[in-house]
């Protein structure tokens, strides 16, 4: 942003400081959640680690974290410059929980994989999504594990390369439509989220308009087999109106 404001910089005027977003994968997704407004709670962490100490590296760092934030049990690292965020296969629900996720006040998309054993969908992304009160999306890929969201498919062997490429298609489509809708205010991309993303093979999209009043493109869920289930504007009979 400093270079964007510097007339002598080649980046001068290239960025729109009013349309900033952030995205991250795995622990980068966790960082994205905290920047979005989700608040880590050290009391929640202590409780979680009593029965899950071997499931999360941060459990061994509780004293160190407290030293970094003396006197604070709830940590706020939100950045008000963010207008929308996207977190891929994030972890950390153990110290966010519902009250921490409810602190997010901007549109956010979370992505998860039904075959993820590193950050399991039912223990991480699903409860995260449920706790968010702002406009929200959850993209689930039926055949994706944790590493399906890594950049590129070059590390896959030749037998599984087509699978990786196929999974990246809905990721690219959903993320592009999300950014265009919530950063560029392109309402056509809301229609793309509603009509295109859920019908990508192996993909399912959940979304809800939140307290921020943002446009979600759809309100409910659709995908995997092309079926739509919603109590929102797509209609109660399960068919798009």
pLDDT, tens digit (0-9, with 9 covering 90-100), for 71-115: 999 999 999 999 999 999 999 999 999 999 999 999 999 999 999
The per-residue pLDDT for 233 is 30
pLDDT band at residue 160 under the 50/70/90 scheme = low
Indicate the range of 32-36, 121-125, 211-215, 232-236 predicted with least confidence.
232-236
Residue with tokens 């070059």: 154
Is the per-residue pLDDT at 229 higher than 50? no
Q: Please provide the size of the chain in residues.
A: 241
Strands (E) in 57-135, as ranges, are 82-88, 108-113
Report the pLDDT value the prediction gives residue 20, as an integer from 0 to 100: 94
Evaluate whether 67 touches 20 at the Cβ level (below 8 Å). no
Q: Give yes or no for a contact between 32 and 55, defined as CB atoms under 8 angstroms apart.
A: no
Adjacent-strand bridge partners of 139:
111, 205
The pTM score is: 0.84
User: Which parts of 104-208 are beta strand (E)?
Assistant: 108-113, 136-141, 203-208
pLDDT at 236: 26
pLDDT over 70 (residue 69): yes
103, 78 in Cβ contact below 8 A? Answer: yes
Measured CA to CA, the distance from residue 202 to residue 88 in angstroms comes to 17
The strands making up 82-88's β-sheet, listed across from edge to edge, are 20-25, 82-88, 108-113, 136-141, 203-208, 220-223, 227-229
pLDDT tens sequence across 121-133: 999 999 999 999 9
pLDDT band, very low/low/confident/very high, at 41 (cuts 50, 70, 90): very high
């Amino acid at each position: 942003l400093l270079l964007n404001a510097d007339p002598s910089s080649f980046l001068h005027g290239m960025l729109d400081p009013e349309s900033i977003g952030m995205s991250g994968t795995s622990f980068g997704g966790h960082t994205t959640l905290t920047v979005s407004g989700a608040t880590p709670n050290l009391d929640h962490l202590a409780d979680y680690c009593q029965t899950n100490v071997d499931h999360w590296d941060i459990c061994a760092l509780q004293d160190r974290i407290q030293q970094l934030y003396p006197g604070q049990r709830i940590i706020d690292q939100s950045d008000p410059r963010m207008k929308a965020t996207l977190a891929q296969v994030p972890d950390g629900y153990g110290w966010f929980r519902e009250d921490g996720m409810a602190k997010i006040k901007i549109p956010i998309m979370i992505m998860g994989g039904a075959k993820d054993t590193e950050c399991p969908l039912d223990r991480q992304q699903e409860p995260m999504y449920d706790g968010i009160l702002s406009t929200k999306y959850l993209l689930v890929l039926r055949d994706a594990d944790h590493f399906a969201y890594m950049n590129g498919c070059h590390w896959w062997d030749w037998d599984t390369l087509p699978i990786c490429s196929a999974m990246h298609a809905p990721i690219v489509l959903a993320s592009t439509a999300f950014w265009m809708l919530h950063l560029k205010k392109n309402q056509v991309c809301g229609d793309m989220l509603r009509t295109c993303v859920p019908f990508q093979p192996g993909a399912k999209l959940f979304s809800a308009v939140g307290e921020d009043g943002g446009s979600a493109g759809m309100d409910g869920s659709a995908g995997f087999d092309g079926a739509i289930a919603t109590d929102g504007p797509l209609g109660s009979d399960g068919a798009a109106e």
